[in-house]
C-alpha cells in the first residue's frame, strides 16, 4: 500500500483564467494471490519414468500414451519421497490493484474550484499458461462549485469498464479480445453526455523470420442530444501488418490500414461518412545500433459516401532516417 500527497501552484502568463492551485492525495493498494494447486495421488504402478519406455521394448510408441504414464510429480513437504501425484491447478495467479486519486483545484481569476475523485480497479487472472483475463474499471467524478457555460465548466461523472482475454494456443499465435463500455454524464449540460462501446480483436503471429499482426476494432459513439459538431457515429477499423527479416540488418515491412466512419443520419460537410484505405510497402536497412534508413511507397485513398468534394487520393514515395541515442 502506498500514499502520496502533492501541491501545485501554476500560473499562465498568456491565459490568467487557467491559473490554479491544486492539492492532491493518491492511494495505491496491490495484492497478489498465488495459484492454488491440488495434488491428486496416483499409484506408482501406473506412473513411471520415460527412461522405462526408452530401454524396454514396447508397442506403445504413441507420444500421448508415453506422456500420460510419465506425467507425475512429488508433493512439497511430503514425508514419503517416493509418492507420486498429479498436480491440478484449482485457481491460477490473481493480481489486483486499487488506486484512488482525490484532488481539489482552485482557479485564481474565475473564483471557482472543483473537487475531483478518480478510482481505478484492476485485476489480472492467469487461468493457465495459455489463458489470461484482465479486468479494469475506472470511475471519475468532477464537481464544480459553480458551473459555467462560458468556460465549459460542467459537473460530470464517468465510468469505463473493460474486459480482455489473452489466449496463446502455442508459441506462434497470440489472440486478444477486448470489450469496453464508457459513459459521461453531466448534471445540467445533458447535451454534453456521450457513451462509447468498443470491441477489439487482435491476432499476432511470429515464426522464424516472419511476424504478422491483425487488428480489428468496432466502436459505437453516441451523444445525449444530437449536435452539429458531435454526431453519433460508428467506427470500424482493420489493420494488417507483415514484417519479414531478409537478413540480420535488412527488413521488409507491409501495412494496410482500413477505416470506415459512418455518421448515420447526422452527416454534414464536416462529418461525412467515408471509407479510407492506406497501404504501405517499405524496406528498412539498419546501418548500426543507432541509425536506420527506410525507403518505401504509400498509397492513401479516402472515399466519401455523399460529400464527394471531401475525397482524397495521395501517392507518395518516402525516404526516412531513424536515429536513436
Which residues in the chain come in under a pLDDT of 70? 45-46, 48, 50-69, 226-228
192, part of any domain: no
Give me the domain span that covers residue 234: 208-325
15, part of any domain: no
Evaluate whether 235 touches 259 at the Cβ level (below 8 Å). Answer: yes
Evaluate whether 67 touches 47 at the Cβ level (below 8 Å). Answer: no
Enumerate the β-bridge partners of residue 88.
38
Region for 111 from its dihedrals, namely left if φ exceeds 0, alpha if ψ lies in -120 to 50, beta otherwise: left
Per-residue model confidence (pLDDT) at position 283: 96
Per-residue model confidence (pLDDT) at position 76: 78
**Residues whose CB falls within 8 Å of the CB of residue 171, separated by 6 or more in sequence, listed in order:** 206
Q: With the C-alpha atoms ordered 221, 226, 227, 233, is the resulting torsion angle positive or negative?
A: positive
Give the tens place of pLDDT for each residue, 223-261: 877 666 778 899 999 999 999 999 989 999 999 999 999
186, part of any domain: no
User: What domain count does the chain have?
Assistant: 2
Query: What is the rounded CA–CA span in Å between residue 10 and residue 83?
Result: 69
78, part of any domain: yes
Question: Domain boundary at 56, 88, 120, which?
Answer: 88
Give the tens place of pLDDT for each residue, 105-119: 988 877 788 999 999
Question: Domain boundary at 88, 106, 121, which?
Answer: 88
245, part of any domain: yes
Q: Say how many C-beta atoms besides its own lie within 10 A of residue 178's C-beta.
A: 17
174, part of any domain: no
219, part of any domain: yes
Entry pTM: 0.77
264, part of any domain: yes
Q: Counting runs of H as helices and runs of E as strands, what totals does the chain give?
A: 2, 16
Per-residue model confidence (pLDDT) at position 104: 93
Question: Domain boundary at 55, 88, 121, which?
Answer: 88
Per-residue model confidence (pLDDT) at position 289: 85
Amino acid at each position: 500500500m502506498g500514499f502520496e500527497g502533492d501541491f501545485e501552484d501554476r500560473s499562465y502568463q498568456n491565459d490568467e483564467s487557467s491559473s490554479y492551485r491544486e492539492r492532491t492525495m493518491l492511494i495505491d493498494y496491490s495484492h497478489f494471490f498465488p495459484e492454488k494447486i491440488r495434488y491428486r495421488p496416483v499409484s506408482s504402478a501406473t506412473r513411471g519414468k520415460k527412461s522405462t519406455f526408452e530401454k524396454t521394448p514396447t508397442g506403445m510408441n504413441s507420444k500421448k500414451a508415453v506422456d500420460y504414464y510419465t506425467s507425475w510429480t512429488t508433493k512439497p513437504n511430503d514425508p514419503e519421497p517416493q509418492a507420486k501425484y498429479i498436480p491440478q491447478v484449482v485457481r491460477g495467479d490473481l493480481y489486483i490493484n486499487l488506486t484512488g486519486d482525490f484532488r481539489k483545484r482552485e482557479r485564481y481569476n474565475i473564483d471557482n474550484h472543483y473537487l475531483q475523485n478518480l478510482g481505478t480497479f484492476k485485476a489480472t487472472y492467469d487461468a493457465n499458461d495459455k489463458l489470461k483475463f484482465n479486468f479494469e474499471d475506472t470511475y471519475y467524478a468532477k464537481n464544480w462549485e459553480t458551473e459555467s457555460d462560458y468556460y465549459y465548466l460542467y459537473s460530470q461523472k464517468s465510468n469505463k469498464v473493460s474486459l480482455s482475454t489473452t489466449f496463446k494456443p502455442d508459441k506462434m499465435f497470440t489472440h486478444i479480445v477486448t470489450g469496453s463500455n464508457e459513459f459521461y454524464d453531466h448534471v445540467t449540460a445533458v447535451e454534453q453526455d456521450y457513451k462509447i462501446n468498443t470491441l477489439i480483436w487482435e491476432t499476432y503471429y511470429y515464426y522464424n523470420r516472419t511476424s504478422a499482426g491483425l487488428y480489428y476494432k468496432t466502436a459505437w459513439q453516441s451523444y445525449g442530444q444530437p449536435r452539429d459538431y458531435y454526431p453519433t457515429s460508428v467506427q470500424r477499423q482493420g489493420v494488417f501488418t507483415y514484417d519479414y527479416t531478409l537478413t540480420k540488418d535488412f527488413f521488409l515491412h507491409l501495412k494496410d490500414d482500413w477505416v470506415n466512419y459512418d455518421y448515420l443520419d447526422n452527416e454534414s460537410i464536416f462529418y461525412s461518412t467515408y471509407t479510407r484505405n492506406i497501404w504501405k510497402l517499405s524496406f528498412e536497412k539498419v546501418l548500426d545500433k543507432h541509425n536506420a534508413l527506410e525507403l518505401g511507397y504509400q498509397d492513401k485513398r479516402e472515399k466519401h459516401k455523399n460529400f464527394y468534394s471531401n475525397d482524397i487520393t495521395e501517392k507518395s514515395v518516402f525516404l526516412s532516417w531513424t536515429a536513436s541515442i
